[in-house]
Amino acid sequence: MADLAAARTPAPSAWARAAARRLTKQRLRRLLLVLGPALVLIAVAYFYFTGGRYIATEDAYVRAETVNLSTDVSGIVDKVLVHDNETVAAGQPLFQLDDEPFRIALANAEGQLGVVRDDIEALKASYRQKQENIKLAETNVAYYEREFQRKQVLLGQNFASQQAFDQARHDLDTARSQLAQMRQDLAGVVANLNGNPDIPVEQHPRYVAAMSQVDEAKRNLRHTIVRAPMAGIVTNVPSLTPGTYLKASTTGFNLVATDHVWIEADFKETELTHAAPGQHVRVTVDTYPGVSWDGVVESLSPASGGSFSLLPAQNTSGNWVKVVQRIPVRVRVENTPDKPALRAGMSVEVDIDTGHYRRLPHFLAAVAADPSV
């Protein structure tokens, strides 16, 4: 019996271990009772002060500049130089019109320019010739005036006949008339030279007008080749085929820019209290899970999206219901060549860091400022 009682009695070391475990649990319980509420308060304070700093929306899409490719001259499409969905560089030729009619028009304009130049040079030569003729006519007038005066004196002395006197007067009148006509003709030449006989040919109005026709013909010829105004991807190319007559300003196909891409995010008006241009943005795209882009708030729209609709909402009826409006926010995406390509229309999620922190409530702020309150 003594041996059985001794076997049931715990060893001193087992008692010590059990006591140590109880003591550890008690200490841990006390620690949790102290730290638990403190951790909860810290977590609550963190979420309180940082709440409202970040705003997010899934109502956001990738936007890109889209150009309707056309030209301002009409003609038959000669060549289409790209394929559908092909990436093109700025300035790359995309399609070309038949340029033969435009080359003919240019040759005609250049020929007309040559004719105008020759006409102006001829006017200058005519001006010089008429000046010489006027000098000769003035000499003739002076001669006939002296001859008339001699005949007049001789007639008074009965040394000349009346017929000779009349002939001298007739010759003087004819010379004066010819001189007046020559001066009038010279004035007409000067007028045709724009009032300046020494005007350079290139400054004459007729030459300037003819030169403008040449410049216009050259411009029209250049515009038979349509080039990419910016880097991007062409689309709807099959809608334009060689042989098609393309009217001026008619769209051939489209170009979507790849270098100038931005995000248009629609936030609730109640979320934009602390949003401002320049704030950091994190962008994630549904197409590329696990990949994010950095961006910057570029601008906030001055009006809600509904304000620009064709038929804006009229809130003057008696059954009006308040609806939270959404304000478009433009986000500039930082240039990241190592990231996948962003394409217009992709759905994205936008998170804006407004940097805003909440302050203590008024009663707590008053207590902190004056503990005696």
Amino acid 35: pLDDT = 66
| Dihedral, CA of residue 279, residue 285, residue 289 and residue 293, to nearest 10 | -30
- Whether residue 318 is predicted with pLDDT greater than 70 in this model: the reply is no
In angstroms, the CA 88 to CA 244 distance is 23
Which amino acid belongs to residue 25?
A: K
Amino acid 38: pLDDT = 62
In this structure, are residues 82 and 234 in contact, taking their beta carbons and an 8 Å threshold? yes
Beta carbons within 8 Å of 118's beta carbon, 6+ residues apart: none
Mean of pLDDT over the chain: 85
- Whether residue 1 is predicted with pLDDT greater than 50 in this model: the reply is no
In angstroms, the CA 239 to CA 250 distance is 12
Q: What are phi and psi of 123, to 5 degrees?
A: -65, -40
- Whether residue 239 is predicted with pLDDT greater than 50 in this model: the reply is yes
In this structure, are residues 93 and 225 in contact, taking their beta carbons and an 8 Å threshold? yes
DSSP line for 265-281: EEEEGGG-TT--TT-EE
In this structure, are residues 34 and 254 in contact, taking their beta carbons and an 8 Å threshold? no
What percent of the chain clears pLDDT 90, i.e. is strictly above it?
54
Q: What are phi and psi of 168, to 5 degrees?
A: -65, -40
- Whether residue 4 is predicted with pLDDT greater than 50 in this model: the reply is no
More confident residue, 33 or 279: 279
The CA R_g of the chain, rounded to the nearest whole Å, is 49
Burial of 135 per CB tally in 10 Å (0-12, 13-18, 19+): exposed
Q: 54-98+224-310+318-357 — its CATH code?
A: 2.40.30.170
Distance of CA 197 to the CA centre of its chain: 46
- Smallest CA-to-CA distance from 60 within 361, 365, 351, 358 is with 351
**Residue-range domain boundaries for the chain:** 2-50, 54-98+224-310+318-357, 100-222
Looking at residue 199, the DSSP 8-state letter turns out to be -
- Among 150-154, 167-171, 201-205, the least confident range: 150-154
Q: Is 81 helix (H, G, I), strand (E, B) or coil?
A: coil
Q: DSSP H helical segments within the chain, as ranges?
A: 2-8, 12-50, 100-156, 162-192, 205-222, 362-369
If you count DSSP H runs as helices and E runs as strands, how many of each does the chain have, helices first? 6, 12
Amino acid 44: pLDDT = 54
Structure tokens at 231: 């880097």
pLDDT tens for 260-295 read 889 999 999 988 888 999 999 999 999 999 999 999
In this structure, are residues 75 and 97 in contact, taking their beta carbons and an 8 Å threshold? yes
Max mean pLDDT among 52-66, 68-82, 129-143, 319-333 falls in: 68-82
pLDDT tens for 111-124 read 999 999 999 999 99
More confident residue, 358 or 119: 119
Amino acid 363: pLDDT = 44
Query: Quick one: average pLDDT of 184-194?
Result: 89
Q: 100-222 — its CATH code?
A: 1.20.120
